[in-house]
Amino acid sequence: MRENLTSLLDRYLADGAVGASLAYARNGAAPTALTAGLADRAHGTAVAPEQLFKIGSCTKTFVAAALVKLAETGKVDLGAPISSWFPDLPGAKDISARQLINHRSGLPEFEYYIPMDPSRQWTPRQLVDIAFASDKQKAPGGPAVYNNTGYVLAGLVIEAVAKDSLAGYVRSAILQPLGLDNTWSPATEAFPQKSMVRGYYHRPPPAPNAPTDIASGGEMWRMDGVLPYSDQLQDSSDSFPFGAAYGCGDMVSTPSDMVGFMRGLFSGKVLSPAFFAEMFEHRVPASFPGTRMRETGAGMFQSAYAGRAVYGHQGSIPGYVAVMLHDPEADLTIAMTSNVGSGNRLSFQASGLHPVVDQAIATILRL
């Protein structure tokens, strides 16, 4: 099986990826890890299993679990309005803490409007200000619309209630109890930067009259002035400062740690069943263009891979793509990270990882 999985990763590299890291576990076994390709093209450094990748929005599952953990300990009422923490936020009295993490807050979005400035140190409040200055707010409780701003506010709630940094609480409440020592939140803690793989971004010149909306392949991030248009991959490792992602996407990890986290969630080691239900159950339909996410709970999506219903999250940030999934029926948990990416969700660099995960699941389960 290992040879077959290695062949999958090698084909992914041959198709245009730079490096890849994959881990999986079944039936209580420790994660099996595989890697391929380069962590740093300039130096020809190979990817190793312990090296860190940016995991983008997979961060949201950790943050959602942290907020629900505070609810489990009686320190947060998920149904209470967020106005007690954000009295000056428009509409805060009608938005619940739960809605911050289930994509139903109606809050405006900031991700597509924030300028990429590698030298700037962003604060969470500035991210929220960009959202309200750039996008329209909707009524809370409506259809699920993917929202990063809610997770920025969730991070601030966690810090206020836990009286700790977001990184500090995630570490003490989730990472340490699970024995995960290779996952970090760089926006709010120091981390081993020399363990990071470099990220590579594809930004070809747009075709004349090409559509600009994200669902049709328009660029997600404002890269002008940071990376020029080029048909070649460009090093984008530092283009999106960690503070610009904060509680919605700043974390770095390894696939083995991501597998350990997901197995901890589904086995009840992080949350009791009643509170895990806050994340896993009460899902509503969600159509997020360019993704496989079909139903959303809180930090937990139902998606289809290898023709199976799986649960977890995917993430992308300039130069990196990641996914972590759990299949309850097969008791299979799998995570994969890549250090190539693109603002065009339809491109190979942004989406080519997902068919590899399809094939890896089919290989592991001998489908």
Q: What is the pLDDT along the chain (367 residues), one digit of tens a residue?
A: 889 999 999 999 999 999 999 999 999 899 999 999 999 999 999 999 999 999 999 999 999 999 999 999 999 999 999 999 999 999 999 999 999 999 999 999 999 999 888 889 999 999 999 999 999 999 999 999 999 999 999 999 999 999 999 999 999 999 999 999 999 999 999 999 999 999 999 999 988 887 777 777 778 888 888 999 999 999 999 999 999 999 999 999 999 999 999 999 999 999 999 999 999 998 998 867 667 888 999 999 999 999 999 999 999 999 999 999 999 999 999 999 999 999 998 899 999 999 999 999 999 999 7
C-alpha–C-alpha distance, residues 240 and 221, integer Å? 9
C-alpha–C-alpha distance, residues 325 and 293, integer Å? 11
Q: Residues 41, 13: contact at Cβ < 8 Å?
A: no
pTM (global) more than 0.85:
yes
> What distance separates the 2 farthest-apart alpha carbons in the chain?
57
Reduced to 3 states (helix: H, G, I; strand: E, B; else coil), residue 4 is: helix
Our measurement of the distance from residue 177's CA atom to the centroid of its chain's CA atoms, rounded to an integer in Å, reads: 21
How far CA 159 is from CA of 83, 150, 152, 163, 168, in Å, comes to 16, 14, 11, 5, 9
Q: Measure the N-to-C terminal CA separation of the chain; round to a whole number of Å.
A: 13
**Domains of the chain, CATH where assigned:** 2-365 (3.40.710.10)
How far CA 46 is from CA of 21, 52, 220, 356, in Å, comes to 11, 13, 29, 20
Report the half-sphere exposure of 141 (CA within 13 A, side-chain side): 8
Reduced to 3 states (helix: H, G, I; strand: E, B; else coil), residue 13 is: helix
Count H helices and E strands in the chain, helices first.
12, 14
Q: Residues 137, 89: contact at Cβ < 8 Å?
A: no
